[in-house]
Amino acid sequence: MAARPRRATLWRVSKHDAPRSAPPVGLRLIDHLRAQGYARRAARDLLETGKVAYGGVPTADEGRLVDPARVAISPRAPRLRPNRDLAVIFRDPHLVVIFKPPGMLAVGAPGRRREDSAVGHVRRLFGAGYPVHRLDEPTSGLMLVALTEDCQQRLKAILFRHEVERSYLAVVRGYFPKAPVVMSTQLVRDRGDGLRGSDAEAGEDDAKPAVTRLRLVEHLGPSASLVEARLETGRTHQVRIHLAEHGHPILGDPLYGRAAVTRLAPRLALHAACLGLRHPMSGEALRFEAALADDLEQLRRRLCRELSPRCPPVARPRRRNA
């Protein structure tokens, strides 16, 4: 049966919305809305219909801790379902930055042409859409889509030159080390069991170099951690493979985690949190940040409650100059 069409809204993020120094977050979103004069029921209606954005991304998670300066309330915004419908974060004549919800294909797939995809949805909204990179179906977060073929080729060129800043947030199994880790391996399509993975003995024709910088964001008790993974290269399943090979598979990962790890999350606990680049046409510095998707932020809080009585609010990825 054909997938139900998903709606989109536009939350333009200006250069002033880029990550910056801010006081520690410690106010629940619902309390912030109440402080703005909304009754609890009215506040929840705004949240559930996609009219509240945090850092440019619609959210319905009333319990998340927020920096009030990054909360936007737009009662006239188009109705949508946060974390279930695609949202447009930025658009100009050349490209769009979207929030892809978990469970949506990035691009159409053979045998699944009736299902909605992020690029297909952009085409319906704006009359054109050209893929630049992909996110796995269960992964949420920021994604680039070109609106012209010229822009698509330019974006692919700067991705090939590793000139796009991309980082992910992942909830992983285990007590991740406090010292940063750099994973630099040769990835092959088949490591011997039908899955992608690292092979130090693979020849240049068979493998592609992959580099990921891993940094602890916070410990979620003794058995889980929130980790930032910053890409130096962009290979298929790179973050999933590197975290699993480092001994910290992503919760909910059915490919690279054991069954016990898969059951710990309702879906792959991976979120594309940051995109930074020079606009391929104008040269303007662009940088976007998306806080943890609603379901993963709720997972984070649940793990905090279950595993640690004093779990701090999630830290924001450190800024790197664009």
**CB count in 10 Å sphere of residue 162:** 13
Amino acid at 281: M
Map residue 48 onto helix, strand or coil: helix
Residue among 17, 136, 253, 295 flagged as catalytic: 136
Which residues, 6+ apart, have CB-to-CB distance to 280 below 8 Å? Answer: 94, 95, 151, 154, 155, 157, 158
CA distance 253 to 264: 9
How do strand 95-100 and strand 130-131 relate by DSSP bridges? unpaired
CA distance 228 to 239: 10
CA distance 162 to 160: 5
CB 260 within 8 A of CB 160: no
The partner residues of 88 in beta bridges, in order of sequence, read 10, 98
CA distance 31 to 189: 49
Task: Establish whether 136 is a catalytic residue.
Answer: yes
Which residues, 6+ apart, have CB-to-CB distance to 278 below 8 Å? Answer: 158, 163, 284, 285, 286, 322
CB 250 within 8 A of CB 269: yes
The partner residues of 95 in beta bridges, in order of sequence, read 146
Residue whose tokens read 């992910």: 168
**CB count in 10 Å sphere of residue 58:** 28
Residue 95 — φ and ψ, nearest 5°? -155, 165
**Token code pair at residue 182:** 């750099």
**Token code pair at residue 49:** 């219909």
Residues carrying an active site annotation: 136
